[in-house]
Chain A
Amino acid sequence: MSLENPATSKPLRIRRLPFGVDINGRKPRGPESQRITDYATATDERLVIALEVRDERALEAIYDRYGDYVYSICLRMVGDVQLAEDLSQEVFLRLWRRPDLYDVSRGRFLTWLLSVARNRAIDERRSRGRRFKHETPPSETSEEILESVPTSETKDMAVLSEERVVVQRALATLPPEQRLAIQLAYFGGYTQQEIAEGLHQPLGTVKTRIRLGLHKLRLLLEQQGEVNGHFDL
């Protein structure tokens, strides 16, 4: 059986490709092609791939982009500067040791990185145990969103800053009781039962607040995403 060229109806001739060139005429990916020329503009995914070949400058570039974000979420969750510094360092060391844990098909790199930081902070709170276990949930006033500080001038980081503003505005739009319940669950790692006890509310009320709050938050973010043309978590 032979294949024909549909344009000429002549049998296709099989030609051996030059060594080291793929069917599209490009060199396959190798250590050389993995080299990054501009770390500042390389995509997150590209930098993570570079971590697998132990490129320290790639780690530095990722830290420069997201170090403040990881540190801030750790600080927000553990409330201790020294501990937040240690946790931030651990998160990036973990990325350095196991960059393969990030699966690009499961979403955006920053979302994954911050979820690692959040989980690590929750683990730390839990391991320090009892002092947090029975702590009173913070008051509503302490959950106010503070002003942010700009971090970078690059285009991608500017987009990220816009996204932060969108999320903060959307969260601020929620009714205070819904916002508080969501923040206690997300940043405090409290279960719904613990939140109900801390706020002296029935469990069903807390569940409803979280459900309505998340639903509304999603709608607000989707609306903003359509207006701004980007919001890809």
Chain B
Amino acid sequence: MTCDDIREDLEAYALGILDVASTRRVDEHVRECRDCEYVVSDYQFAVDSLALAVPLYRAPARVKDRLLGGIGAFPAPALSMMRRRWWAVSAAAVLMAFAVGGLTWAIVLSSEVSKLRSDNERLAQLTELDAAQRQALLSLEGRLNSARTEQLRLSTTLEEQATMLVVALDPDLVPTELGGTSLAPQASCNYVWSSKQAVGALTCKDLPTTAFSVGYELWAIKGDKSVPVGTFLPRYDGTASLLVKFPDSAQGPVSSLWVTLEELSSGRNAPSSQVVLQPLPPLQATR
């Protein structure tokens, strides 16, 4: 790999808009090449400054209130706890918290939607609207639309989480632990298969953030064939979850499970990049 091969990607690299494979390629080169490292650091200086060019708006006071009111719910993480193995019971607890939290949120949002709708109707009754009133109306409409979108997304998520909860609480479930390869040594996942429900649930933690338009793909390996069974993205804290329903074409025993990084927009029948997570031996069971 020469400098000329990657020189035209250095700007995008500094801007953080390269795909995963190209980012890795530039990473490896820059570690070895002082000249390119220097060029990147120059670009990085300019890129870092761009954040200061944003028009500055006053953050609403409620953001600070919510932040300071909510930090009590996040005590210091205990290392010993973080290092403990997390099996089906802890997964069930987490999922239950998600489900309850999601349900509460959905109820709150539902009430918010009703309130916004009545506000909207009241505003619509005003015959003479000045500029400020029109602005307020537009703002309310925007919030109403956001709330509706969020409610729709939550209802879908809630249904999925409820199914995952049922799976996790199945006494006959079969767990399989996945560990990160050298690409993500801190990452780990726990996969449980419920033969009763005929679905599986994957919960992960410490996943590295992915580049734009790239997500994680779970693969079921059946002999020499690989079947894509789901795409998922990590949350901001590195956790992720996925409900797995095997397609009819993928019946039969699974010999292994892989997680790879794939472009979100393109469908495929085989992994296109290196394995990020794989079962820790011995493989206990999958489906």
Chain A interface (Cβ < 8 Å from any Cβ of B): 54, 56, 59-60, 63-64, 67-73, 75-76, 80-83, 85, 88-90, 92-94, 96-97, 107, 111, 114-115, 117-120, 122-123, 126-127, 129, 133, 145-149, 151, 160, 163-164, 167-168, 170-171, 182-183, 185-187, 189-192, 207, 210-211, 214-215, 217-218, 221, 233
Contact = CB atoms under 8 A, between A and B. Distances in A.
A192 B17 contact: yes
A90 B66 CA distance: 10
Interface in B235-279: 236-237, 264-265
A162 B56 CA distance: 13
Contact of B54 (A76, A190, A233): A76
Contacts, number: 174
B59 interface: yes
A186 B43 CA distance: 12
Given A67-B64, A93-B67, A167-B53, A218 B17 contact: no
A186 B50 contact: yes
A211 B11 CA distance: 6
8 closest cross-chain pairs (CB), A and B? A71-B59, A146-B55, A114-B51, A218-B46, A217-B46, A148-B56, A233-B48, A167-B52
Interface of B: 8, 11-12, 14-19, 42-43, 45-60, 62-64, 66-68, 70-71, 74-77, 139, 142-143, 146-147, 209, 212-213, 233, 236-237, 264-265
Given A68-B59, A85-B59, A190-B17, A218 B42 contact: yes
A118 B51 CA distance: 8
A214 B46 CA distance: 6
Query: Which residue of B17, B66, B74 has the most chain A CB atoms within 10 A of its CB atom?
Result: B17
Contacts of B49: 163, 167, 170, 217, 221, 233
A31 B57 CA distance: 37
Contact of A192 (B12, B53, B265): B12
A82 B70 contact: no
A185 B17 contact: yes
Contacts of A96: 71, 74
A139 B143 CA distance: 24
Nearest to A112: B48
16 contacts: A54-B76, A60-B64, A63-B67, A68-B57, A69-B52, A72-B59, A75-B57, A76-B54, A93-B67, A111-B48, A123-B236, A127-B233, A147-B55, A185-B12, A210-B12, A210-B15
Could you tell me the dominant secondary structure of chain A's interface residues? Answer: helix
Contacts of B142: 80-81
Nearest to B12: A192
A54 B36 CA distance: 41
A80 B146 contact: yes
A26 to B, nearest CB: 27
Given A63-B68, A64-B64, A68-B58, 20 more contacts: A68-B57, A72-B56, A73-B54, A75-B57, A76-B54, A76-B55, A111-B48, A115-B48, A115-B51, A119-B16, A126-B264, A133-B213, A149-B57, A163-B49, A167-B50, A187-B50, A189-B16, A189-B212, A210-B12, A221-B46
B11 A210 contact: yes
A111 B51 contact: yes
A82 B143 contact: yes
A139 B113 CA distance: 32
B67 A92 contact: yes
Nearest to B19: A191
Nearest to A79: B142
Given A67-B64, A126-B213, A207-B11, A93 B71 contact: yes
A120 B17 contact: no
A120 to B, nearest CB: 6
Nearest to B145: A80
A145 B56 contact: no
A127 to B, nearest CB: 6
Given A167-B50, A214-B14, A69 B56 contact: yes
Contacts of B48: 107, 111, 115, 233
A148 B55 contact: yes
Contacts of A64: 64
